[in-house]
Structure 1
Amino acid sequence: MGPRWKGKDSEAKAFKDPMSKIVWELQSSLIQSESQGLLCGCSVLLAAEAEQAVLLNRACFGEPISAAEKDKQWFQLGLEEAFYLCYSLKCLNIVGEDKCLMNVEEFWLLMKSRKAIFPDFYKGYSHLRMKNWVVKSGSRYGVDFVAYRHHPALVHSEFAVLVSTEGGGDVNGRLRMWSDVHCTTRLCGGVVKTLLVLNINKNGQGAFSPSCIEKYTVDERTVRRWNPEKCREDHTVVESETNNHTVIENGTKGEFII
């Protein structure tokens, strides 16, 4: 299942304006203006200047919510988005709810206190972002994230992403039974996405500081249903035969075929 572009010129537009270049332009702009995000509950609010608002939209960080003042726009950033800009790109400072500037360590500890699985989620999010995928919330599809090859205005999301841990099963307690896997893959098939499971290996590291997650590794698995009609010489098969076949292929960056 490859990319589904939204127009005949969309692929060419994406090629001419790569996401890595857009993110670099956003990073440079935020560093130059010494931008500050305001912590508000489980999100971060950023008052962006006109140029930065355009770059945030192009790079797909946050959601515009309302005008801050003349020539400025408020953006609401998710926890993973805000920490990525703060820690990985080092282009955003965070002001806490007490109106004091927070350092990275303080921000990290606060994120963990508000979202216990934040370290695993952040590793999965940053892993895809570093590969220049656009990563957005997947709650609409019952997954953790959805990943786009480029801006959602140009292409449909390609992967439905679940973050998994070393012990098996994703961090939200799903995929622990085959029935969970079947339900998830059927849902993904219905919305034309490939299920991507990111297994976070902590390699004996804790989550005491952001530097710990740099030693985490990520194993990627794609999961899809196997249609025996595509693998047989005789294509005149009974429909019920397609529902109960299971084949598993495994590798470091492997694929489960269900």
Structure 2
Amino acid sequence: MGPRWKDNGSKATALADPMSNIVARLQSSLIQSGTCGFLSGCGVLLEISHDQVGLLNHACFGRPVTTADTDTNWFRLSLEEAFYMHHCLKCVEIIGEDKSPKRDDELWECMKLKKRTFLEFYKAYSHLRGKNWVVRSGSQYGVDFVAYRHHPALVHSEYAVIVSSEAEGHENCRLKLWSDFECTVRLSGSVAKTLLVLHIKSNENCTFSPSCLEGYTVEERTITRWSPEQRREDQPIVKAESSKG
């Protein structure tokens, strides 16, 4: 379908400041300040400075948390966002619920316990983020994620994303039934999004550390609803005149 910019100047604004540059500025700021996140339920709470609020908003990580203390700024990250910032960007240290900093492998095991499909969802999330897509929850559209070309204030989300896997104990039952398949494709089309299925495939059985991610591949499939009109001839059918004897 292509990007749907929200106004005439949005595309120029996005091109002038690519998402990769915004994320790099956020990364640098968080590293310099030694920012820590705190595991809390199925997410991570991040305490940040006032200046970093704008950076997080522009880079589209997490959601602000409203508190009575106006002097403290908190953001709540999803597990995928938190691990990406910790493991890939290396800009946030994560403190466990036992009040101790977590190493990569410890945090990996902790997050897998908190979310059964964490490995597959993180692989999909990091795959899209690594390509500079903005990735947000897709629960309001009945999918796993939605992907934006740039900041949601500038452009509408372009893809409705479903994560698929056949790993033992992690099989995603989405799109297994024709009725679910048809509903998902129709819903995506009705909100002007292309359905993108990310199929996570594994070449190894070891999942005890983040290094196992190197043995996983992501197969991308876009699915659109076929319309019979697209296959009809453009020229009208001309009836042959009957010959007169």
If the length of structure 2 is used for normalisation, what is the TM-score? 0.91
**Aligned pairs for 1:188-203 within 5 A:** 188-203=188-203
Query: What do the CA deviations read for 1:58-84 (whole angstroms, capped 9, x no partner)?
Result: 000000012585654110000000000
Corresponding residue of 1:239:
none
Corresponding residue of 1:147:
147
Q: Matches of 2:6 and 2:132 in 1, distance apart?
A: 19
Corresponding residue of 2:101:
101
Q: Matches of 2:11 and 2:216 in 1, distance apart?
A: 33
Three-state SS of the structure 1 residue aligned to 2:215 is coil
Q: Matches of 2:235 and 2:182 in 1, distance apart?
A: 24
Give yes or no for contact 2:204–2:215 (8 Å, CA) kept in 1. no
Query: What do the CA deviations read for 1:63-119 (whole angstroms, capped 9, x no partner)?
Result: 001258565411000000000000011111011112111111111101111111100
Corresponding residue of 1:79:
79
Q: Matches of 1:202 and 1:225 in 2, distance apart?
A: 29
Amino acid at match of 1:62: G
Q: After the TM superposition, which of the residue ranges 213-222 and 118-127 deviates more from structure 2? A: 213-222
Q: Matches of 1:115 and 1:38 in 2, distance apart?
A: 17
Q: Does 1:178 align with 2:178?
A: yes
Corresponding residue of 2:213:
213
**Aligned pairs for 1:28-39 within 5 A:** 28-39=28-39
Three-state SS of the structure 1 residue aligned to 2:65 is strand
Q: Matches of 2:213 and 2:76 in 1, distance apart?
A: 25
Q: Matches of 2:60 and 2:171 in 1, distance apart?
A: 25
Give yes or no for contact 2:39–2:94 (8 Å, CA) kept in 1. yes
Corresponding residue of 2:135:
135
Q: After the TM superposition, which of the residue ranges 22-31 and 201-210 deviates more from structure 2? A: 201-210
Three-state SS of the structure 1 residue aligned to 2:187 is helix
Q: Matches of 1:66 and 1:234 in 2, distance apart?
A: 57
Q: Matches of 2:22 and 2:69 in 1, distance apart?
A: 25
Q: Which runs of 5+ in 2 are unaligned?
A: 237-245
Corresponding residue of 1:24:
24
Q: Matches of 1:58 and 1:205 in 2, distance apart?
A: 38
If the length of structure 1 is used for normalisation, what is the TM-score? 0.87
Corresponding residue of 1:57:
57
Three-state SS of the structure 1 residue aligned to 2:53 is helix
Q: Which is higher, the Rg of structure 1 or of structure 2?
A: 2
Amino acid at match of 2:53: A
Deviation at 1:204, TM superposition (A): 2.2
Q: Matches of 2:39 and 2:9 in 1, distance apart?
A: 39
Point out 4+ residue stretches in structure 1 off by more than 4 angstroms: 67-71
Q: Matches of 1:179 and 1:73 in 2, distance apart?
A: 45
Three-state SS of the structure 1 residue aligned to 2:108 is helix
Query: What do the CA deviations read for 1:185-229 (whole angstroms, capped 9, x no partner)?
Result: 011011110000001111124321101012211110000001121
Q: After the TM superposition, which of the residue ranges 174-183 and 185-194 deviates more from structure 2? A: 174-183
Q: Report how many residues are paired.
A: 235
Q: Which runs of 5+ in 1 are unaligned?
A: 237-258
Amino-acid identity (%): 61
**Aligned pairs for 1:231-250 within 5 A:** 231-233=231-233
Task: Give the structure, 1 or 2, with the largest relative contact order (CA under 8 Å, sep 6 or more).
Answer: 2
